[in-house]
Amino acid sequence: MNTRIGFIGLGAMGLPMASNLQRKGFDLTVFDIVRAPMDRLTQLGARAVTSVAECVRGAEIVVTMLPATVHVEGAVFGDDGILANIGKNAVLMDMSTIDARATDRVAQACAQRGIGFTDCPVGRLALHAQKGESLFMVGAEDAVYARVEPLLKAMGSTIYRCGPPGMGSRMKLINNFMLLSTAQIVAESLTLGTKLGLSVETMREVTAGTTAHNGQFHVLMVNKSLRGDIEPGFTIDLAFKDLTLALNAAAEQRVGLPVGSAAHAVYGAARATPYASKDYSALLDLACDRAGVSVPRLAKP
């Protein structure tokens, strides 16, 4: 494939996604403020540059995978940013999880300049991104979607068209609100079960056979905290940011989210602990610490 891609943002999700693009034949130029992930990609054949502007110039599709709204808007609207350097026939493909109103601002600015735009936030975990099994929630018009579809198929296994630009970001907000709130309920449930003397194996087996079955227990925690691994795929700090986006949207729409608000408060308090920069599955470790019980671990396979 000869499609020239500029990829900006090589964090826990961006690095494996970009790696899959490079391995599958795309012409990749990459930029991140941290050098190490760029070095890993140059070993695969990508070209590393030292600025957003360099990454954008000559690219047919520019991909952004950045932590928060402020980073996306800085990269897009900065004096030496994306819109100042992108080609007239190019597409901006934002895969970050940000405020949907910011997505709208970026989409409008692209439209005014004749630049294609799509918001394609990512579902599933870093372990799925590594295997090329990510899920994408896409907001795009048909012509733009046709151009980015090969990239999505190279990085993931599941694509959902959610509507026009902006709808991918709105779907991601709802998805993350649901899963992050559920993760706290799972952490509390496993802590209580441990206090009551149940083994984690029993809790896993029984809930897998009832409607309590959920991905936060049976995928996330089974692969992370219950194995003793809380190194970040998705940090508690970023999880707090995403829940804040959902609560802000709810406030604007006059929608009450009482259970989610309680979960948001837990994530907020967790940011003042050593777990702030750990994987959000560490909610289990935090809950157990506070309850005075040992964190349950699954036996090694």
Active-site residue, from 88, 172, 195, 224: 172
Q: Are 93 and 61 in contact (CB under 8 A)?
A: yes
Structure tokens at 279: 């994987």
CA-CA distance, 276 to 267, in Å (whole number)?
Answer: 9
Structure tokens at 87: 């080609």
* Tally of CB atoms within 10 A around 212: 14
Cβ neighbourhood burial of 280 (10 Å; 0-12, 13-18, 19+): buried
CA-CA distance, 282 to 225, in Å (whole number)?
Answer: 6
| Residue 172 falls in the annotated catalytic set | yes
Phi (first) and psi of residue 165, to 5 degrees = -50, 135
- In single-letter form, the type of residue at position 84 comes to A
The residues annotated with a catalytic role in the active site are 172
